Amino acid sequence: MANYFSILLVILTIASGLIWLIDAIVFAPKRKRKAAQSDARATGTSAMGSEPEVPYLVDTAQQIFPVIAFVLILRSFLYEPFQIPSGSMMPTLLVGDFILVEKFAYGLRDPVFRNKFVETGEPERGDVVVFKYPEDPNIDYIKRVVGLPGDTVVYQNKQIFIKPYCANEQAKQCPALKPVPVEFKSRGDFVQDMAPLLRYTEQLGEASHDILRHPMRDIPASNYYTQPGTRSNEWLVPENHYFVMGDNRDNSRDSRFWGFVPEENLVGEAVAIWISFEFERGEDSLLPTWIPTGVRFSRVGSIE
């Protein structure tokens, strides 16, 4: 849907701009000359009269072009709003959060074909990123970057192990496979399937954030995406690809199930929550479920 909106914005911007430009170069001077001739015949002088009336189509193009051009530039190259539709990133992001995604964080791309024309940076471990879902690029996903290109990632017993990329695997100074540090924080802040979830603080690179674990649910390794030449719960991240996971570890379909995110699928980094709505309307309510029941002002701010 986001792709279609971008294409529509580009078409409207180009169309309205061309209408304004062609009119200014070709038709506006003709209207002015015609109006001047009419005034001259009516008054008997060569003085310029009132401005000729602008056609409706041209007037509309002049009014909307600056607005949609600004929206196109803002949305394509600076910041784009997204709504969180599911709980896969709890507790970091909740259903009803509206976030801002920094589009220039990982390079500037054209809004239609998404070809990168300016390099501005690369994802870091722990970043919360929005990307085009590899199995259906028309869908935007949001997850956290766990594995960088060349990393070895292992997920076992609800614990992440990472071996960072090393150019020379024979060198003694190459890092070994190590667990990502986690520390128990609380229990019961969130409930899923009648079970209070366990909340931990996890340290991924420079990013410290909270994750959720289900106390009983355990996804069999046989359900994971199996990469040729590795174990069923081990992944070697290819060049120009990223391994991503949701913070709600037992309720997230992510790289464990469908593989890696290509670099060209990256949309940007989620940097802030600008508004957060509650949707807790009961089935007996007369109002539609999409109408918010409240605003969570305490959630407005940066994303960890």
Do 89 and 110 form a contact (C-beta atoms < 8 A)?
no
* φ and ψ of 150, to 5 deg: 90, -15
Residue 178 a catalytic site member: no
103, 132, 143, 163: the catalytic one is 143
Closest C-alpha to 147, from 104, 218, 193, 204: 204
Residue 302 a catalytic site member: no
Q: Compute the distance between CA of residue 6 and CA of residue 18 in angstroms, rounded to an integer.
A: 18
Beta-sheet strands, E only, within the chain: 79-83, 97-102, 108-109, 116-118, 128-132, 140-147, 152-156, 159-163, 178-179, 182-192, 195-204, 207-213, 234-236, 241-245, 261-262, 266-278, 294-295, 301-302
Q: Compute the distance between CA of residue 109 and CA of residue 265 in angstroms, rounded to an integer.
A: 11
76, 88, 252, 255: the catalytic one is 88
The sign of the CA dihedral 36, 37, 42, 44 is positive
Close Cβ partners of 186 (under 8 Å, ≥ 6 residues apart)? 199
DSSP state of 272: E
Do 144 and 209 form a contact (C-beta atoms < 8 A)?
yes
Q: Enumerate the active-site residues.
A: 88, 143
